[in-house]
Structure 1
């Protein structure tokens, strides 16, 4: 085994004679290495020859320096001695002695932070983890459609009792404890959304952005063998790389030439599209989170001719709910009426509403309408008028404007009209514009992601042009396109010598 590098320690305070010995191992527990002690007496001005390892020079004359040096050879690096603090030192000296230690600890902490960050990004950008998060979110969304949302706790006590669990184990505790009675604002659901958002951002930072940087880089090659190893490769005898560049430009490629080399690409937007998809998904999740935690909702039944204040009926739905100024608006129901089909079914509902500010000034008036089948069925039943006689006996049911008379206690009664009340659902949702923008961006970037990013390299080798290329999508179509383009490259007449083609450095 070869001896490791030797380290020298000079100690002028140890007197010794000129001899060599191999000392036993050092007792220090931190250093298990052999040490060779060589002691020598130095005589200034001596002209004697060295007589080998056991030789001796003349005695040191009187008055000469008594200082002696000890040379110690270590097979490994000796432990670094720490300087002992001195009493009475100045503040500047103490600060300078403490500065390297602080810098070392700071660098160690920074290195540890970088390693932790890199490890965290590696875990979050894992594709199976992201897929698992999406499946978990989809499962919770499906569960939220099965479990009735926003009901009072007593409703879940009755529907999911502990003495008769659903499926043998599901009780009200499984619903109320994790907050599944308001699924889309529960901590579990929002936590999964945050985790998926972190995975998307980590994937974008560690994968998509580096891929875009590489794709944007112009990569010329001067090796024909490297070009022939591409997914598509071909050679054009008696051809010019300049003619190939013109044809590629006509096909929509960005072409760059440098000496005998050519590089062309198209469809770079397809490389940006995955980043856009990730951003669109982040917008959608941010909007959904804002809707779940920052919206207001309320409902009210108002008879015709009466008023109500919007803020009196609106209730916050999350911790980020902030009441807007519109809550001070007063709503007046001018009229509520319906239109009927010939069969007597309701065709449309109308509510004529006026909005008043705090000063009592009408700021808007509009007639709103709905046409939902379930809502129509409910409202049609509510608009029926039940009639009783003087003894409280049920007589019949009539609708307004039905023109069907009914006799009560000898009197024929015709129902012409009735003062109805309108049921209004009110909601403020600040996340809706963000969700719409996210879905619009998602559709656009998804379509862009289908664009193929194609790259072509070419090299002028004498009168022959070596061409190769690759693409990330539609590989069969890319080969067919390349064959069509190469067929259009003109053949040079009389180009028999190897240097017949002049390749100039151009950039297009």
Structure 2
């Protein structure tokens, strides 16, 4: 059992687990998460993912929802257990050892330390006092006993690894809690439309009205930024916010992201008809961002026509049933005769793609990051220990250091030189 616990708390096991978790996260970035099962079957039937996995295999391996899959949560649990055991078996004893005073009685004991130096002097006791005074002035903690003393500095550095492990565990707990208990909703909302969020009793908790949606484009027409102006009503209070990509809204545990955009409807006039607002739908088989609608046949029996649109600025491509391009229309432009009937497009209504997330684990995740940052900073502090014994016309000094040993090896001779100079002047 002890051997198994020792293996489980091995740093190499933790590194392997971190690499597996990182690889899983990379796969989760490459494969869309949370889509309908049929979409994976359709996407990877003809072209398997990486040439290896078909849609059914992607679903069987739970690669469509990696972060909530059983095996990914098992990896997080395993890593958390490894960090706890490592802290308990290694880091905590190291901290206790750094806080425990060790009393070396003879110069021979000091000579076995990592760094050991001896200084010949006429009055070793005076040199010992000078060295003790120098170290105290520089912030070292001291414990003196007769003709010897022990000094230490940087004990807080031993707390750093414990805090890093604690922060990682908090981060994983928060992420797991968010995956299991969090909620996610993606919704395309047209300007003037309202989205009501209900509480557990079925009552409206927050009402979200999209007042306006804007797509900022560069001179070539490519989208640069999406902006949504929202009007929120909650318990009679009204609030207005603007969100954009990378600038979400956080409100009472709900985060609203500007995630995507779409085209919702087209307003047109056919002949002498009134203005007609007709819904648009996406046609992924024609391209990534292609919307359109099919207008039925005219009264004289001519076949239907297909209207195809790529963005809210136009143009609107009009195709015949055989795929022939009949003409182009522009929003707000003049009417164009299509198969003997004039058609005019007044406007195209874009829709804002909103992503709403409620993640109860976010505070734990933020706390975990904060604890890790503090722990990482403390881990940079070197824990140093010095022992000195005055004996037989010599001052014997030895030291230990867990970090930057080369600098510490240069520090002790400099301390002895400073002590010798002070002793001569005294």
TM-score interval, smaller chain: 0.7 to 0.9
1:142 maps to 26
- Aligned-partner Cα distance in 2 for 1:169–1:411: 53
Cα 1:411/1:285, change in 2 over 3 Å: same
Q: Distance in 2 between matches of 1:388 and 1:469?
A: 81
- Unaligned runs of at least 5 residues, structure 1: 1-115, 313-322, 496-508
3-state DSSP of counterpart to 2:310: helix
- Of Structure 1 and Structure 2, the greater strand share is in 2
1:156 corresponds to: 40
Q: What's 1:309 paired with?
A: 196
Whether the aligned pair in 2 keeps the contact of 1:300 and 1:423 (CA below 8 Å) is yes
| Equivalent position SS for 2:406 | helix
- Mapping 1:54-453, distance limit 5 Å: 118=2, 121-161=5-45, 170-236=53-119, 237-238=121-122, 239=124, 240=126, 241-311=128-198, 328-339=205-216, 341=218, 344=221, 346=223, 348-357=225-234, 361-370=236-245, 381-385=310-314, 394-399=326-331, 405-409=333-337, 419-453=349-383
Aligned length: 360
Moved more, 180-189 or 324-333: 324-333
Q: 1:388 to 1:263 in 2, by over 3 A?
A: closer
Q: Secondary structure at the match of 1:382?
A: coil
State how far apart, in whole Å, the 2-side matches of 1:235 and 1:444 are.
38
1:456 pairs with 2:386: yes
Contact 2:317 2:328 survives alignment (8 Å): yes
Instruction: Quote the Cα distance in structure 1 between the aligned partners of 2:70 and 2:365.
Output: 20
Q: Is 1:466 aligned to residue 396 of structure 2?
A: yes
Instruction: Give per-residue Cα distances to partners, 1:102-124, cap 9 Å, x unaligned.
Output: xxxxxxxxxxxxxx5x5653342
Change (3 A) 1:125 1:383: same
State the distance in 2 between where 1:364 and 1:185 align: 34
Structure 2 vs 1, CA of residues 366 and 463 (structure 1 numbering), >3 Å: closer, same or farther? Answer: same
Larger mean CA deviation between 298-307 and 204-213 belongs to 298-307
How many Å separate the matches in 2 of 1:364 and 1:347? 27
Q: Contact (CA 8 Å) 1:178, 1:187: kept in 2 or not?
A: no
The Cα offsets for residues 390-439 of structure 1, whole Å up to 9 and x where unpaired, read as x9985424357xxxx43434989795x65543222211222233223323
Q: TM-score, normalised by structure 2?
A: 0.73
For the residue of structure 1 that corresponds to 2:17, the secondary structure is helix
Structure 1 position 282, deviation (Å):
0.8
CA distance in 2, matches of 1:337, 1:302: 12
- In the aligned structure 2, how far is the partner of 1:168 from the partner of 1:342? 39
Distance 1:333 1:458, change over 3 A: same
Report SS of the residue matched to 1:213. Answer: helix
SS of residue paired to 1:310: strand
Q: Is the alpha carbon distance of 1:188 and 1:125 closer, same or farther for their aligned partners in structure 2, counting shifts above 3 Å?
A: same
* Unmatched tracts of structure 2, length 5 or more: 248-257, 263-288, 291-308
| 1:84 matched residue in structure 2 | none
CA deviations on 1:68-93 (whole Å, 9 max, x unpaired) are xxxxxxxxxxxxxxxxxxxxxxxxxx
Q: Indicate the residue corresponding to 2:275 in structure 1.
A: none
> What's the TM-score once normalised by structure 1's chain length?
0.62
Distance in 2 between residues matched to 1:301 and 1:245, nearest whole Å: 72
Kept in 2, the 8 Å contact 1:178–1:188? The answer is no
> What is the alpha-carbon distance in structure 2 between the residues aligned to residue 259 and residue 447 of structure 1?
37
Q: Distance in 2 between matches of 1:287 and 1:371?
A: 22
Establish whether residue 485 from structure 1 lines up as the match of residue 415 from structure 2: yes
Comparing 333-342 and 198-207, the one that deviates more: 333-342
Q: Which has the higher contact order (CA 8 A, sep 6+)?
A: 2
Superposition deviation, residue 169 in structure 1: 5.8
Counterpart-to-counterpart distance in 1, 2:261 and 2:425: 86
Give how far 1:222 is off: 1.3
Rounded to whole Å, the distance in 2 between the matches of 1:364 and 1:351 is: 14
Q: State whether residues 349 and 371 of structure 1, in contact with CA within 8 Å, keep that contact through their aligned partners in structure 2.
A: no
1:491, distance to aligned residue in structure 2 (A): 5.7
Alpha-carbon spacing, 1:257–1:325, altered in 2? closer, same or farther (3 Å): farther
2:225–2:244: 8 Å Cα contact kept in structure 1? yes
Structure 1 residue 279 displacement after superposition: 0.8
Q: Alignment RMSD, CA only?
A: 3.6
Q: CA deviation at 1:353?
A: 1.6
